[in-house]
Structure 1
């Protein structure tokens, strides 16, 4: 992202710090679940989608999910059993959240794109953890629950994140930073609201 305003970065940082606090709390819950009932681990994975969803739904700009998720990961490092790997995990999720919107050149921010993004990302993460944990040796119903939670949890937290973003929007937190939900092209084929961001 070029010509990024200081206010935009500060908004992403504030969301990221709040997300990092949530990450830190969820680390203990997910650690307990992973040890006691691994098949339910996916129930808390949706937390890691929260900062990116809030940033994207509030600001509707390219790159904000990645920036916010990385900041959240950095904040949570001291409290995560996996240490700095938390930044890589959070950043990976933020990057996956960017993909559907990048395909549209960041011109469409409809609700269904948010849910499509997290459904695909949750499924990919669920299958990855599934293989890493050797869950294919488990009973079929355990496999279904395991992967299903990795899909359902991000969808739930996406709804929560979009709700939080609406609340922040009502306070004016995104005023002057947001792009339209649908950004049509001009006659010259360029976006009406160009990606370079004006300073606030």
Structure 2
């Protein structure tokens, strides 16, 4: 059985806490956007990808995306308990979706395109899900174009940002002892 070191778990926790604080703020921002400009709501969904992307890019270990996403969900729920299930389930789902291509490659390839393929595919899955859930007849076509584009592009942007943060942390020597 594979053992995970305490350092890796604590690193996931630290990244998850930071990501959870961002997710909590994004949750309240999402409520504001949904009321004022609902077609831009998809921008906020990408913030849930940030902690898992940082953990996967920095630690390059199986399970760190799921664990970090779950911890981020717990922290986000602490600041917005009315959305506890949204935060917890989204954290788990996003972590699993981001880890999927690495799981398929048996965690042997950490190529950047796998991060973006996972994020883009996840964004499309979420976009199609919301399109079906909300019903195409409720909004004009121009609304759907903007709405679905935000859902598809936001995860890619936040994954790119997460990889940038992980790169900066790695240059600073944060994960050196984990290699």
Normalised by the size of structure 1, how large is the TM-score? Answer: 0.85
* Cα shift at 1:176: 3.3
* Cα shift at 1:126: 1.4
Whether the 8 Å CA contact 2:46–2:156 is kept in 1: the answer is: yes
Say how many residue pairs are matched.
Answer: 178
Unaligned runs of 5+ in 1: 179-200
Is the deviation greater in 91-100 or in 134-143?
A: 134-143
* Cα shift at 1:135: 4.1
Aligned pairs for 1:91-130 (under 5 A) are 91-130=92-131
The structure 1 segments of at least 4 consecutive aligned residues displaced by more than 4 Å after TM superposition are none
Is the deviation greater in 32-41 or in 155-164?
A: 32-41
Q: Give the Cα–Cα distance (whole angstroms) in 1 for the partners of residues 114 and 123 of structure 2.
A: 14
**Pair 1:59-2:59 in alignment:** yes
Structure 2 match to 1:77 = 77
Q: Give the Cα–Cα distance (whole angstroms) in 1 for the partners of residues 117 and 137 of structure 2.
A: 26
Is the deviation greater in 79-88 or in 112-121?
A: 79-88
* Cα shift at 1:136: 4.3
* Cα shift at 1:49: 0.2
RMSD: 1.4
Normalised by the size of structure 2, how large is the TM-score? Answer: 0.94
